[in-house]
Chains A and B, each alone.
Chain A
């Protein structure tokens, strides 16, 4: 395939990595968007989900918001936000859209994680005289941790993928290499950009899996079933 060897040539050409439109700059933009938005989304969604899970209310909201999110086309939201007055403020539409798309998986997984903690364990902790706060910090949170991290991972991959689409709405990030390739009808560049994006998404997934394992509060304890 010409495009494949062409993509290899494109990637191994140093000039394509330098400068304003180069890979390094686009990668930095991409990681900046993704990192900031994932952090903001976590700060918004996790406290709400953990609290709702702790008191055991709002389950329908937490689960349904994820289902509704599935039906909303990312591209449409990005373009709509770009055309509003917000669009004049550079990165703002992208940042808002990324946060919006990261919230549902975080909310749903954290809530379900909290609710799926074995009721018998919770009752036992209560019977030992733990206060609500102790119960939350020392029983529910550690046991819900694996599912919470699954949500963070979903959200992380989601954000990286959505940041790619931002390029179609004229924003920065690695997706710009792909859209620029389309505009130039330069298929090798399109394929090279796509490879970079796909690798970054997989890399982020792996990193988040490792981070989740390292910070697991139950790590090294015996009898961990999950």
Chain B
């Protein structure tokens, strides 16, 4: 009987809620995943050229790293609000804000990864007649991949959490359900959506870890290189936006 009544008594855990509103939960989760995936993908696409610029011209490294770090200190609610005049109430507003946050970690990690490529490997490739593009694509990027993917993992996990703040403009995925649950003091909705959000972050992290292992089989053969992602993760230790 408690199964039926938990909606009436407003319990924290309510199977009936999950059953009857599963469509709503699925929609919110899909929106959440879409916003996160788009933000991380665009973040990588923007960070890669920025990291290459910072590596090519030393004098650009300071401003690029400095600017992305300053962006990181801006509170998320303020970030989304500041972008409001440019995008209006839309999903692209949330995605843009999240992309700006992702740059800090991604640029740093990609740069660290590229700088950690051994000179011998670079010289050997050049000696074999590799041009700059082929060198980047076939030698440097694969070797920087563990650091890059470590950055993508950190970014993805914090982006999943930050997406909830998009609820302020109604594009927060599960965050919108959390805020909605607060307005109606609907405890089951708040707890279910929060739990799904954490679950989403964990699943995404594990999937990326699997991807990393699949893409970089050599890191498991040569023990020496397994240190690299750990070091890159350490460089990315900065405050998390809230």
Residues of A within 8 A of B (CB): 1-4, 67, 69-77, 79-80, 82-83, 101, 105, 108-109, 150, 153-155, 157-158, 160-162, 164-165, 167-170, 175, 178-179, 181-182, 187, 190-191, 193-195, 197-198, 201-202, 205
Nearest-CB residue, chain A, relative to B200: A71
Sample (26) of A-B pairs whose CB atoms are under 8 Å apart: A1-B86, A2-B85, A70-B154, A70-B240, A71-B201, A79-B178, A79-B182, A80-B191, A82-B182, A105-B239, A157-B73, A158-B240, A161-B75, A165-B242, A168-B167, A168-B168, A179-B168, A181-B81, A182-B169, A187-B85, A193-B78, A194-B79, A195-B82, A198-B79, A201-B74, A202-B73
Per the bound structure, the CA–CA distance linking A79 and B176 in Å amounts to: 12
Per the bound structure, the CA–CA distance linking A72 and B205 in Å amounts to: 13
Known: A72-B161, A76-B190, A182-B168. A170 touches B77 (CB 8 A): no
Q: Are A170 and B182 in contact (CB under 8 A)?
A: yes
A-B contact number at CB 8 A:
158
Per the bound structure, the CA–CA distance linking A71 and B153 in Å amounts to: 11
Nearest-CB residue, chain B, relative to A181: B81
Q: Are B240 and A79 in contact (CB under 8 A)?
A: no
Chain A proximity of B189: nearest CB distance (Å): 10
Q: Which residues of A contact B242 (CB under 8 A)?
A: 74, 101, 158, 161-162, 164-165
Whether B197 is near chain A, meaning CB under 8 Å from some CB there, is yes
Q: Are B77 and A178 in contact (CB under 8 A)?
A: yes
Q: Which residues of B contact A1 (CB under 8 A)?
A: 85-86
Nearest-CB residue, chain B, relative to A197: B78
Q: Considering the complex of A and B, which 9 residue pairs feature the smallest CB-CB distances, nearest first?
A: A194-B81, A3-B85, A154-B239, A161-B75, A76-B194, A161-B242, A71-B201, A197-B78, A194-B78
Per the bound structure, the CA–CA distance linking A75 and B85 in Å amounts to: 24
Q: Mark B224-242, 1 if CB is under 8 A from A, else 0.
A: 0000000000000111111
Nearest-CB residue, chain A, relative to B83: A194
Instruction: Select B77's contact among A73, A197, A202, beta carbons within 8 Å.
Output: A197
Q: Are A153 and B239 in contact (CB under 8 A)?
A: yes
Per the bound structure, the CA–CA distance linking A160 and B201 in Å amounts to: 24
Whether B95 is near chain A, meaning CB under 8 Å from some CB there, is no
Q: Are B81 and A154 in contact (CB under 8 A)?
A: no
Instruction: Select B78's contact among A71, A75, A153, A201, beta carbons within 8 Å.
Output: A201
Interface centre among A105, A168, A202 (most CB of B within 10 A): A168
Per the bound structure, the CA–CA distance linking A82 and B165 in Å amounts to: 16
Q: Which residues of B contact A108 (CB under 8 A)?
A: 237
Q: Mark B62-92, 1 if CB is under 8 A from A, else 0.
A: 0000000010011111110110111000000
> For the side of the interface on B, what is the size category?
35 or more
Whether B193 is near chain A, meaning CB under 8 Å from some CB there, is yes
Q: Are B182 and A190 in contact (CB under 8 A)?
A: no
Per the bound structure, the CA–CA distance linking A155 and B165 in Å amounts to: 19
Nearest-CB residue, chain B, relative to A79: B182
Q: Are B74 and A109 in contact (CB under 8 A)?
A: no
Whether B112 is near chain A, meaning CB under 8 Å from some CB there, is no
Q: Which residues of A contact B167 (CB under 8 A)?
A: 75, 168
Q: Are B190 and A3 in contact (CB under 8 A)?
A: no
Q: Given contacts A175-B77, A190-B81, could you give 10 more A-B pairs where the C-beta distance is less than 8 Å?
A: A70-B201, A71-B157, A71-B205, A74-B161, A76-B190, A79-B194, A161-B73, A164-B77, A190-B84, A201-B75
Q: Which residues of A contact B194 (CB under 8 A)?
A: 73, 76-77, 79-80
Known: A79-B182, A157-B239. A165 touches B77 (CB 8 A): yes
Q: Are B237 and A109 in contact (CB under 8 A)?
A: yes
Nearest-CB residue, chain A, relative to B194: A76
Chain B proximity of A153: nearest CB distance (Å): 7
Question: B100-156: which have CB < 8 Å to A?
Answer: 154
Whether B160 is near chain A, meaning CB under 8 Å from some CB there, is yes
Chain A proximity of B88: nearest CB distance (Å): 9
Interface centre among B77, B154, B160, B164 (most CB of A within 10 A): B77
Chain B proximity of A177: nearest CB distance (Å): 10
Known: A83-B182, A154-B238. A160 touches B75 (CB 8 A): yes
Per the bound structure, the CA–CA distance linking A2 and B84 in Å amounts to: 12
Nearest-CB residue, chain B, relative to A201: B73
Q: Are B160 and A71 in contact (CB under 8 A)?
A: yes
Per the bound structure, the CA–CA distance linking A1 and B160 in Å amounts to: 31
Q: Which residues of A contact B169 (CB under 8 A)?
A: 182
